[in-house]
Chains A and B, each alone.
Chain A
Amino acid sequence: MSLPETTVPGLRRGVKFRFDAVRASWVVLAPERLFVPDEPAVEVLKLIDGARSLGAIADDLAARFAAPRAVILADVAAMLTDLADKGAIAL
């Protein structure tokens, strides 16, 4: 399944994404769950603000990283689906 570019992801109620100084890493804190997202996921999570669309996130990343936008878009879409399945974000 593929997400439309207009999808606007947002952190779900009760989910916090913050930097943990003790571990020197970003963490996603959710009800009864927590993840330490990998680096690509951290880049995406930093851009999730409940306003930016999937397409806009891909634009932003494509401008900063050396990969074709289409590839980035597919990666981000897969990542968002995964985060949604884990209950961290709403699509």
Chain B
Amino acid sequence: MTGLFPPPMGLIVELTHRCPLQCPYCSNPLELERPASELDTSAWMRVFDQAAELGVLQLHFTGGEPTARRDLPDLVRHASARGLYTNIITSGVLLDEPLMAALMAAGIDHIQLSLQDIEPENADRIGGYRGAHAKKLAAAQRIRDAGLPLTLNFVVHRQNIQNVARMIDIAEKLGAERSEIAHVQYYGWGLKNRAALLPSRAELDATTATVEAARARLKGRMVIDYVVPDYYASRPKSCMGGWAQRFINISPSGKAMPCHAAETLPGFTFPSVRDTPLAAIWQSDPAFLRFRGTDWMPEPCASCERREIDWGGCRCQAFALTGDAGRTDPACALAPDHAVMAEAVAERGIAPPPFIYRRINAGSERAPVEAVV
């Protein structure tokens, strides 16, 4: 493999942007892709074959809501037969008994279930779907009963952050092997709803202490992954392990990108898996090469000792907050634009503004009663 860039570890496939929920922090782009543009079953299967040959080890089915695709069990079976470790990231509201059985028969390795809160009413309000929380708890039990490992994912923000200790308790009670306490990441819908979601510094510090204590208590029994918001940080996160270093993300229509938010970057044409093999995309597509490694870096990153640790932070965040994807992530205290983080914190105000829910043609402030897949 001399001369070739090391293969990607993971392939993230957004099977569809359809979702019964409407979380105001959804990581999907503001411009959701239409169902008619989705890749069909055989196109996805071809992509999985290419991924296995390229050296991808783990396949993450996400969305939107991946279980909204009827062919999900067939896709899991195909990927699993190619030796890929299969993971589904789901809201769980469509995960009924027959689907669970079909996924087990197909060889699913792991399911990650997201919960919006532990208080049912607040959880349903955040997700914009009445009754979702009860369905999710049933799904968690189903995953457990099937004998699969369970990861519970809680996205935390100023409207549920006071419940973090109880979130961890629930995860423990439900027998989860892993839980994720993940602060909202402020791209796309999250950025649009930032003032409604961003916690205060004191809230963040209290949560961090809660998580640390729980980690010590549950060591060896439950792994807790903790993702902090960048707004109070002094160094950025290593976004996706570096641009085009470890992952390929594919949109419902087949657009391949180094991360799910990359579409927000202007001046990029992302390749399509409809007409370009994954290996060619990974090794030589200009969009993938654009920020790979360290050559693109400006100062202070270029001469910084952390340049291969955090890779200069997130390109999408740099663009969203400075208008230039090629600048140092403003989350870094050394970045010339770092002051924008404090400005955003100042904007959050005393009371959160209403949510702008994730949906095609967004703008409504009321949570709907019924949801349609």
Q: Are B220 and A84 in contact (CB under 8 A)?
A: yes
Judging by beta carbons under 8 Å apart, are A18 and B83 in contact? Answer: yes
Which A residues are CB-close (under 8 A) to B149? 12-15, 31
Q: Give the size range of B's interface with the partner.
A: 20 to 34
Is A22 interfacial (CB 8 A cutoff)?
A: yes
Instruction: Verify A13–B57 contact, CB threshold 8 A.
Output: no
* A contact residues, total (Cβ < 8 Å): 19
Which residues from B are CB-within-8-Å of A13?
147-149, 177
Q: A12–B149 Cα gap in the complex (Å)? A: 8
Q: How far is the CB of A77 from chain B (nearest CB, A)?
A: 14
Separation in Å of the B233 CB from the closest CB of chain A?
22
Q: Are B177 and A27 in contact (CB under 8 A)?
A: no
Q: How far is the CA of A34 from the CA of B247 in the complex (A)?
A: 13
Q: What is the CB-to-nearest-CB distance from B264 to chain A, in angstroms, rounded to a whole number?
A: 24
Residue of B nearest to A24 (CB): B1
Q: Write out the residue numbers on chain B whose beta carbons fall within 8 Å of the beta carbon of A32.
A: 87, 110, 112, 151, 178, 180, 225
| Chain A: CB-nearest residue to B110 | A31
Known interface pairs A13-B149, A14-B149; A31-B220 also in contact (CB < 8 Å): no
Interface set, chain B 200-222, CB cutoff 8 A to A: 219-220
B7 at the interface (CB under 8 A from A): yes
Interface string of A14-25 (1 = CB under 8 A from B): 111010101100
Query: Which of B9, B87, B220 counts the most A-chain CB atoms under 10 A from its CB?
Result: B220
Give the Cβ gap from A90 to chain B, nearest Cβ, in Å: 8
Judge whether A85 is part of the interface by a CB distance below 8 angstroms: yes
The CA-CA distance from A16 to B219 in the complex, in Å, is 21
Instruction: Verify if B109 is at the interface (C-beta below 8 Å from A).
Output: yes
Which A residues, 59 to 90, have Cβ-Cβ distances below 8 Å to chain B? 84-87
Smallest beta-carbon distance B227→chain A, Å: 12
Given contacts A13-B147, A29-B57, A32-B112, contact A22 B7 (CB under 8 A): yes
Q: Known contacts A12-B149, A22-B7, A87-B178; is A34 also within 8 Å of B58 by CB?
A: yes
Asked if residues B57 and A31 are in contact (CB atoms below 8 Å), the reply is: no
| B54 at interface by CB-CB < 8 Å | yes
> Once the chains are docked, how many angstroms separate the CA of A29 from the CA of B109?
10
A44 within 8 A of B: no
Q: Which single residue of chain B is at the shortest CB-CB distance from A31?
A: B110
- Contact across chains for A23 and B58 when beta carbons are under 8 A apart: no
Interface string of B111-143 (1 = CB under 8 A from A): 010000000000000000000000000000000
Closest chain B residue to A87, Cβ basis: B223
What are the 10 tightest A-B residue pairs by CB atom distance, in nearest-first order? A14-B149, A22-B55, A87-B223, A29-B85, A31-B110, A13-B149, A14-B110, A84-B220, A31-B149, A31-B151
Please name 5 pairs of A and B residues whose Cβ atoms are closer than 8 Å in the assembled complex, sorted by A.
A13-B148, A14-B177, A31-B109, A31-B178, A34-B57
Q: Chain B interface (Cβ within 8 Å of chain A)?
A: 6-7, 9, 53-55, 57-58, 83, 85, 87, 109-110, 112, 147-149, 151, 177-178, 180, 219-220, 223, 225
